[in-house]
Amino acid sequence: MIDYLKKALKKKKARRITQEYDHTIDTFGLAEEGEIHFANWTNPLIKPKVITQEEVNFFRKFIPKGSLCIDIGTNIGDTTVPMALAAGKQGTTLGFDPNPFVYKVLLENVKLNPAKQNIVPYPFAITKMEGEFGYASSEASFGNGGISNEVVTEHGSFQLPDKIKGIVLEDFLKEHYADLLPNLSFIKVDVEGADKEVIRSISGLLKKYKPVLVAECFTKSKANERADLFHTVADLGYKLYYFSDFVEHAEIVPIRQPKDMNNWKTFNFYAIAEGKEE
């Protein structure tokens, strides 16, 4: 009972008082990758990440060894690391997150497993136009959040004191990774309900290179917003699929029409360009 009350008090404090949290290094034994290390954030509101072979194998279905993949909204690297393990040391995994609290932990994960992954982190948001933006969270610990041009209630009342930088991803890649773009295999987007806007901002990349796309349909999204998200992806020549989890044998259900987006409250989907289906 005492432990429960202590944990509850820590969570309450994390929601209301901004403070720095450290990280711990956990080790996982995978059947194929062997020993993998991961830096978990000690923020009491965040469930510790467990790296599994099943998750790496999920990404391996879409990410060939040696290819370029991109994680937009990396957080501490909970999907970035499995993606990078799938791409391997010879691949390149770019991770973008402007939240300085989670970015510090991401940097720790970049250092780990150097013989098995190649993660390049950037503290930027992906936006339609380059600029500086405010960043807000519903929690004082900044375990989540999003950008805006002004204070917005949908992201919460806790504000970063400094602006964060937003970049146009296509321009950035052409400038810094032009030689790798032909090998772009996969893009994951998880940006607290702004997935549609980010997907629209990277539509040129999707049309030209046709990488597999993973994105989230947010809990608070209304039926018309879900339909807009469906059309945003489908109109780029992609077919959408619901999947139950980031595991190799996840339940997969085709999303054939906009109304199908209402079959689940919060879910992730992957999208494959027509003609490149499994």
Average pLDDT over residues 197-217: 96
Q: Give the global pTM.
A: 0.94
Q: Does the structure show a pLDDT above 90 at 218?
A: no
Residue 161 belongs to a domain: no
Domain that residue 197 falls in? 26-127+168-273
| pLDDT of amino acid 150 | 37
pLDDT one-digit tens code per residue, 57-87 = 999 999 999 999 999 999 999 999 999 999 9
Residue 214 belongs to a domain: yes
| pLDDT of amino acid 181 | 98
Beta carbons of 253 and 241 less than 8 angstroms apart: yes
Residue 89 belongs to a domain: yes
In order of 43, 94, 149, 196, the CA distances from 187 in angstroms are 27, 9, 25, 13
| pLDDT of amino acid 147 | 80
Give percent above pLDDT 70 in the chain. Answer: 94
Residue 154 pLDDT grade (very low, low, confident, very high; cuts 50, 70, 90): low
- Read off φ and ψ for residue 242, nearest 5 degrees: -70, 140
Radius of gyration of the chain (CA): 18
Q: Does the structure show a pLDDT above 80 at 4?
A: no
Residue 32 belongs to a domain: yes
Q: How far apart are CA 17 and CA 20, in angstroms?
A: 10
Which segment of 39-43, 68-72, 131-135 scores lowest on mean pLDDT? 131-135
Q: How many domains does the chain have?
A: 1
Q: What is the CATH number of the domain that holds 197?
A: 3.40.50.150
Higher pLDDT, 194 or 238: 238
Q: How far apart are CA 241 and CA 25, in angstroms?
A: 34
Residue 88 belongs to a domain: yes
Residue 96 belongs to a domain: yes
Average pLDDT over residues 125-148: 87
Q: Does the structure show a pLDDT above 60 at 152?
A: no
Residue 158 belongs to a domain: no
Average pLDDT of the chain is 92
Residue 90 pLDDT grade (very low, low, confident, very high; cuts 50, 70, 90): very high
